Amino acid sequence: MRCGQTRESAGRVGLPGALGDEVERMVCAECWKEWIQAQIRVINHYGLRPALKEDREKLYDFTRQYLGLPSQAAGEQV
């Protein structure tokens, strides 16, 4: 989705539920690698603690935004 090119999939990256399925289906390995680097900056900038559910959910939202994935529907489980 992010780069608009057809490349090798990022595969199963260890994200739970629908988000993991979307990444596997719609994100290339190169864009995923770029997100991993950007994710570190996002965590540090916002002071996120991924061990906490609410911070993890914020990080999942940033993941969706960065990768150009559709926003999570209200009430949808990650």
Q: Rounded CA gap, 53 and 3, in Å?
A: 29
Domain count, the chain: 1
For residue 24, tell me if it sits in a domain: no
For residue 45, tell me if it sits in a domain: yes
For residue 3, tell me if it sits in a domain: no
For residue 26, tell me if it sits in a domain: no
For residue 59, tell me if it sits in a domain: yes
CA dihedral sign of residues 71, 11, 15, 49: negative
Is the pTM of the predicted complex or chain greater than 0.85? no
For residue 8, tell me if it sits in a domain: no
For residue 54, tell me if it sits in a domain: yes
Digit-coded pLDDT (tens) for 43-75: 999 999 999 999 999 999 999 999 999 886 544
Domain containing 53 equals: 32-63
Digit-coded pLDDT (tens) for 12-32: 788 888 999 999 888 989 999
Distances (CA, A) of 10 to 26, 48, 49, 69, 72: 8, 24, 24, 14, 20
